[in-house]
Amino acid sequence: MRYFLYFQTLFLQLLLLSLVVVVTATGQLPMGDREIGLSISTAENERFDSTFIHALGTGASSFHLFFKWNEIETTPQTYNNAYLTAANTFFPLFHTKVSLVLVPVNAFHKEVPADLQNVTFDDTLMIRRFKQLLDYVFSQIPYVELKALTIG
The model's pLDDT over 77-119, given as tens digits with 9 standing for 90+, comes to 999 998 899 899 989 999 999 999 999 998 889 999 999 999 9
Residue 64 and residue 97 in contact, taking contact as beta carbons nearer than 8 Å = no
Residue 98 and residue 91 in contact, taking contact as beta carbons nearer than 8 Å = yes
pLDDT recorded at residue 59: 85
pTM of the model: 0.74
Angle at 108 (CA atoms; ends 107, 110), nearest 5 degrees = 100
Selected residue with higher pLDDT from 18 and 27 = 27
Going from the C-alpha of 102 to that of each of 22, 60, 70, the distances in angstroms are: 42, 21, 10
CA-to-CA distance for 73 and 79, rounded, in angstroms? 4
Q: Is the pLDDT of residue 5 over 50?
A: no
Q: Kindly report the average pLDDT of the chain as a whole number.
A: 83
